Structure 1
Amino acid sequence: MARIGIHVLGPLRLEVDGNAVRLTPLTTRLLVRLVAADGEAVPVRQLRRDVWGLADEPRHQAQRSRNEVQKRVLELRRALDPAQDGTAARLLRTEQQVTVGGAETAYRLAARPEELDCARFTATVGDALLAPPATAAHRLAEALELVRGRPLAEVNGEEFADPFIRRLVTLQDAARRGLVRARTELGRPDLALPVAESIVRDHPDDPDAARTLESLRAALRARHGAELLRHAVPLTGRRVDVVLVQGDVFEQGDANLVVGFTDTFDTDTGEDVVISRGSVQGQLVDRLFLGQRRLLDEKLRAALRAVPPVGTESVRAKPRGRRVRYPVGTTVAVPVGGRRVFATAYSRLGNDLVARSGRDDLRVSLDRLWDAVALHGQFRPLAVPLLGSGLARVTDLDRGQLAALIVGSFVAACGRHSALTPELRVVVRPDDLAGTDLTPVERLFQGLRGAHDTVEATADRE
């Protein structure tokens, strides 16, 4: 038997054994009309009215009407059953109904739930709304992925389809609200927010939806500090957000952290000579390791054992700090307090104890960073400071350009890794905000959305 897929949660799409099947406009309307009957048989006269838009004809012309309907039914059966293995007979049944005027031919679509997306959607949402939060969130998201547009789009607004469409639209709305509720209960307002925004767009006069949206935004502001921008990475089939916030990277308690290092992975902040105590690298010891530099050193050494060094300085050449050098881009995951600190070497510490870096060094380090996050990040949010804006400054880029470089590199990595992080959070220090123009990041996302929309439109045409 052929594998059938009838998709009506959006423009009609018919698939047979995984291959799209093209139907003529009238045959498309015929199939949609049978789906709208929700398993009931539809008489030929009703099909003529609803599919062809013709009023009842005199009895002497009834045979011509039946012939026209039978022609389209035969065309639909051939589309459903190209191998003629009996699939069409099972799916599209001919019945006789007894009426006052005598027996009348009727047709019934007898699709199995797994063959009809609206049936799968209905069953999945019904079960999910009664499930615990984690199960509900997973299954509701799975169900909503089936929706590609307005149900039964070809017959939207027609009287015979209105009850069926209203039921599906109402169920879709219940699924979205249930998903917001489940994700909120799971402590993920960041994932609930885009769903809540879509509800408010569709129901601008709904006070409950507006209150829910504002409460989610307030929860995110309280968690992350003041948001500067938020954009979804344009991906198909998954949600990944990029957020820029003003705040303290060490206060992002729900997230893994990124800390920039030099190629020697120094941690000595004594007298602010090797490492500045005020830098993110310098604060790491005090903020997360309670001043126990030796503990951080031990974890770094353990993580670096698998990384071949590129050289070792002599005591004479570099009397202070560590002397073993690692490749720029080396990134290691340091566990601390149930999360990960990703230490990434994006600069070279000269023997004069001055750190130097450039945009190419930063690009290499970011590529290695995303690979490490995909491997060790456990799919948690990731908080990143503005790498390259501190003492190891990338001098040819301002802070806004640095943010765009970090975000652009991350977006590219999302194409390589299917499970990287649900959220990249770039943290800008409040003191740096006045000197940070985020226009380059906004332009980046504007270009990404345009390119994504073009690809999607091309795919739809094909």
Structure 2
Amino acid sequence: MAHIRVSVLGPAKLEVDGAPVHLTPLSTRLLVRLVAADGEPVPVRSLRREVWGLNAELPGQAQRDRNEVQKRVLELRRALDPERTGEGARVITTDQLPTARGSETTYQLVLRPSELDSAEFTELVNGALHAAPATAARAFADALAMLRGRPLAEVAEEPFAAGLIRRLDELRDAAREGLIRAQTDLGRPDLALPVAERMVRERPDDPRAVAGLAALRALLRERHGGELLRHRVPGTGTDVVLVRGDLFDQADANLVVGFTDTFDTATEQDVVISRESVQAQLVERVFGGQRRAFDERLRVGLRAFTPVGTESARDKPRGRRTRYPIGTTVVLPVDGRRIFAVAYSRLGNDLVARADPAELRLGLERLWPTVARYGLFKPVAVPLIGSGLARVVELDRAQLVNLVIGTFAAYCGHDPAVARELRIVIHPDELAAIDLAPVEACLRSLDGAGREGRDGAGREGAARGAG
């Protein structure tokens, strides 16, 4: 039995056993006319008028017309059944219709739903309308993917096709609306947005479509909040996201806070550490201003690391004197999440913090393995590290962001499960000073093929940021 596929959801085409079958324009129009009958028999008189465009009845014309229609039907049956198995007669049946002028031959197209794309489309949409959201989303998407253009394109302006075309258009709109609803119910309004936008492009005067798009955009704005950019790291389940906001408002995320190599926290008179620094805000906003309790936890965490030196009281009369390697990362559990205190700058004996791009890179490269090990695969939020009192003056803000992204992506090449999301938090006061175009370019550079490609892209993006 041949596998037949008639497609009319766009320019008509016929396939038999997966191979396209060429039809003459007249045979194509005949096939589409039979499809437009929607399973009903069509008299020869109607076919002669609607396919051939013949209305006049001259002496002997009726017989000639019957012969011409019969010839084209035979041609179509042979196209449907090249192996002459009898499928052609099964697909296009012949019957006699009693009329006042005698019996009239009729032809009827009999196709299974799997053999006619418009029938399969109808079944998919109707089934999806009563399905649960995940099942409905898949079915609606599959149905809409079948549309290749205007249904019954060859006879789209003919009155005999108007009913079926109208029904298919209504099903298309129902599928689009259903897909938008299902994706929204599943928490994926971003996947619904292109569907809503297309509906409005095609029906700009439809108030329902316009209102639906506006509601969807409002939902996305609310959902994304201060989100500026988002990009999936290839080969991982991790997104890199830039958001406008405050680091300490990221309640669902682990936090990265940069320290100097002495891990100073004293803010008295703004001599050692500024009260405006991220470190000072960490003590105040996360640890309730209990600096001594925080210092004790920090001191316990630092026991696991070997100092690289100790300053004398004469050389460094204020602040702590024990120095730790750049990249030293102390993990501080707080309310089910983690604070990663990482040393990426050096505090001079003059109490001025300084870091160069190489030290910042080293600190970040040593940070990510600790995040992967202790971060519980939670989102990790990072401030615009190096832009403030650390004085990484060689890099602008976009280059600093790219350095964070590049080192993170490079480590993901070794361990794809570092964190569910890298969230780079840019304070609103800093947003105007950062050009996001180089950051977008760095994110696009991550789209390499394979793990090795990702490593190279990440290092290249970071190198551009540090250049």
TM-score by length of 1: 0.59
State the shift of 1:429 in Å: 2.0
**Aligned twin of 1:167:** 167
- Show the 5 A alignment for 1:23-34: 23-24=21-22, 26=24
**Aligned twin of 1:157:** 156
Distance 1:260 1:420 in 2: 17
1:164–1:313 distance in 2 versus 1, CA, 3 Å = farther
**Aligned twin of 1:108:** 110
1:63–1:377 distance in 2 versus 1, CA, 3 Å = farther
**Aligned twin of 2:126:** 126
**Aligned twin of 1:72:** 76
Indicate yes or no: 2:208 matched with 1:211: no
> Aligned letter for 2:81?
R
**Aligned twin of 1:196:** 196
> Aligned letter for 1:66?
Q
> Aligned letter for 1:314?
V
**Aligned twin of 2:95:** 97
> Aligned letter for 2:91?
R
Asked whether the 8 Å contact 1:243–1:426 carries over to 2, the reply is yes
> Aligned letter for 2:173?
D
* Aligned partner of residue 96 in structure 2, secondary structure: strand
State the shift of 1:46 in Å: 5.6
**Aligned twin of 2:54:** 55
Distance 1:335 1:6 in 2: 63
Question: Deviation digits for residues 421-449 of structure 1, max 9, x if unmatched?
Answer: 9999765321012223345567899999x
State the shift of 1:218 in Å: 3.6
Distance 1:211 1:166 in 2: 23
Distance 1:35 1:413 in 2: 58
* Aligned partner of residue 147 in structure 1, secondary structure: helix
> Greater shift after overlay, 430-439 or 419-428?
419-428
Question: Deviation digits for residues 298-339 of structure 1, max 9, x if unmatched?
Answer: 9x99xxx9xxxxx9653449954654858xxx9x9x99778x
* Aligned partner of residue 95 in structure 1, secondary structure: strand
Asked whether the 8 Å contact 1:197–1:213 carries over to 2, the reply is yes
* Aligned partner of residue 125 in structure 1, secondary structure: helix
* Aligned partner of residue 176 in structure 1, secondary structure: helix
Indicate yes or no: 2:133 matched with 1:136: yes
**Aligned twin of 1:308:** none
Asked whether the 8 Å contact 1:348–1:356 carries over to 2, the reply is no
- Show the 5 A alignment for 1:166-315: 166-184=166-184, 189-225=189-225, 246-251=244-249, 259=256, 269-271=265-267, 314-315=308-309
> Greater shift after overlay, 21-30 or 58-67?
21-30
Aligned length: 409
> Greater shift after overlay, 182-191 or 65-74?
182-191
**Aligned twin of 2:454:** none
Percentage of pairs with the same residue:
41
* Aligned partner of residue 109 in structure 1, secondary structure: coil
Question: Deviation digits for residues 369-426 of structure 1, max 9, x if unmatched?
Answer: 9x97xx9769x9x977556655667766644566688899999999xx9999999976
State the shift of 1:138 in Å: 4.6
1:405–1:94 distance in 2 versus 1, CA, 3 Å = farther
Structure of greater Rg: 2
Question: Deviation digits for residues 281-311 of structure 1, max 9, x if unmatched?
Answer: 875676567678599979x99xxx9xxxxx9
**Aligned twin of 1:433:** 431
* Aligned partner of residue 125 in structure 2, secondary structure: helix
Q: CA RMSD in A?
A: 6.2
State the shift of 1:246 in Å: 3.1
1:297–1:219 distance in 2 versus 1, CA, 3 Å = farther
1:171–1:217 distance in 2 versus 1, CA, 3 Å = same
> Aligned letter for 1:62?
R
Distance 1:23 1:422 in 2: 50
**Aligned twin of 1:460:** none
1:447–1:177 distance in 2 versus 1, CA, 3 Å = farther
> Aligned letter for 1:152?
P
Distance 1:435 1:446 in 2: 22
Distance 2:121 2:296 in 1: 52
Distance 1:269 1:293 in 2: 9
Distance 2:296 2:192 in 1: 38
> Aligned letter for 1:109?
L
1:407–1:76 distance in 2 versus 1, CA, 3 Å = farther
